[in-house]
Amino acid sequence: MLILGMDLPNIDLLVGLDALPEADAGCHVRRMGWQSGGKVATGLCAASALGVPTALLGAVGDDLYGRAVRRNLAHFGVDDIVLVTQTGRRTGMSVILSDRASGGRRILHQPGTATLELSEAGRARIPQAAALYVRRLGQAELEAARIARASGIPVVIDMERGDPTVLEHLDLITSLIGSETCYRDTFPGAERRDVERHARSLTEQGPRDVLFTFGAGGVAGVADGRYHEQAAFPVTVEDTVGAGDVFHGVWFALRMEGADPETCSRYAAAAAAIKCTRPGGTGGIPDRPTLEHFLRTGQIDYARIDERCAWYAANSLLG
C-alpha cells in the first residue's frame, strides 16, 4: 500500500514568543528552529510515522531549502523519487510566529518559484498507489485525479478553504476533509449544528467521506453513510502549526488500511493533539506505538519525539 501525495513543500522558520511585541518594540525569543512544511508533505510524514508507505510527487528549487525538505522527508521515510528539483527555481519559505499569550500563530509566507507539474514518472506512479492525496485541484492535480479514478484509485483531499473547482469535480473525490474555514466558505452562514446536513449534501455528489475539522472543537461529518463526531483530546498546547495536516495524514492512512471512520477520527485527533505539544508541523508527530500508548493511557511517551525535536533544534535540516 502506497499513499502518493502531491505538493510543493516548503521550509518553515519557527519562532516561539511569550507575546508579540508592540509596534517599534522588540521581544525575547523563547525558541527558534527550522522544519519542513507543506500541507500534504506534513500529512505524508504523519502517515509514514505510522509505518504506511508514502511518496511525494512535486517540486522544490535547487537551493538550500529544497535540500532541507528532502532531508526531512528522508527522516520520516517518505519516498522522494518523484519529487523534482527544478534548476533556477526557489523553494517556498515561511516564518511562523507562535505566542503563548494568545495561543495563536502568525504566518509570513514567501511563495517559491518551483511549479507543480505531472511528469511521466509521476503519471506512471499513480496507478501503483493505494490513494492519491492532494490539497487542491489545480491543473496537475486534476489530471492526476482523473488518472487515479480511471485506475480505480481513491482520491483524498485536504481542503483548507472553499474551492469551487473541487465542488465542480466531487465525482473524482473519495474522501474530503475540510477545515472550519472551508466549511464556512462552502456553506456561508452555516452553524456547527448544520454539519451533518451539509456533509450529506456533498456525499450525494460523489465522496464516500466528508468531514470538517474545528480545531479544539473536534471533527464532525459523514462517512460510510454514518454521521459521527470526535472531540479533540485535551493537552498542553505548545504550537498548533500543522495540527490539521497531521490529522489528515493519519486519517487517510488508517482509512486506506481499512479502518472504520470512527477509528480513523479517534486516532487522527489523538495524533494532532500530541503534535500540538511540540513546536512545528512535524516535530511532535507520533509513531504508532506512541499514538496507541496515548489512546490507552492518556500519557505521551516523548522519547522519540524529543529526540527528533533536538535534531531540529540543532538546525540539522540546513546541513
Contacts of 9 (CB under 8 A, 6+ apart): 36, 37, 38, 41, 56, 58, 60, 69, 73, 83, 91, 92
pLDDT in tens, 265-319: 999 999 999 999 999 999 999 999 999 999 999 999 999 999 999 999 888 888 7
Delineate the domains of the chain, giving CATH numbers in brackets. Answer: 3-21+29-310 (3.40.1190.20)
The angle that helices 261-275 and 243-257 make with each other, rounded to 10 degrees, is: 150
pLDDT in tens, 181-222: 999 999 999 999 999 999 999 999 999 999 999 999 999 999
The angle that helices 64-76 and 39-49 make with each other, rounded to 10 degrees, is: 30
Bridge-based pairing state of the strands 219-223 and 93-99: unpaired
pLDDT in tens, 39-48: 999 999 999 9
Contacts of 31 (CB under 8 A, 6+ apart): 14, 15, 16, 279, 313
pTM of the predicted model as reported, rounded to 2 decimal places: 0.95
* Averaged pLDDT of the chain: 95
Which residue bears the cell 466549511? 183
Q: What does the pLDDT read at residue 249?
A: 98
pLDDT in tens, 139-167: 999 999 999 999 999 999 999 999 999 99
**DSSP, res 234:** P
The angle that helices 288-297 and 261-275 make with each other, rounded to 10 degrees, is: 100
Taking the C-alpha atoms of 251, 256, 257 and 262 in order, what is their torsion angle to the nearest 10 degrees? 40
The angle at the Cα of 209, spanning 208 to 213, to the nearest 5 degrees, equals 170
> CB atoms < 10 A from the CB of 125, how many?
20
> CB atoms < 10 A from the CB of 274, how many?
23
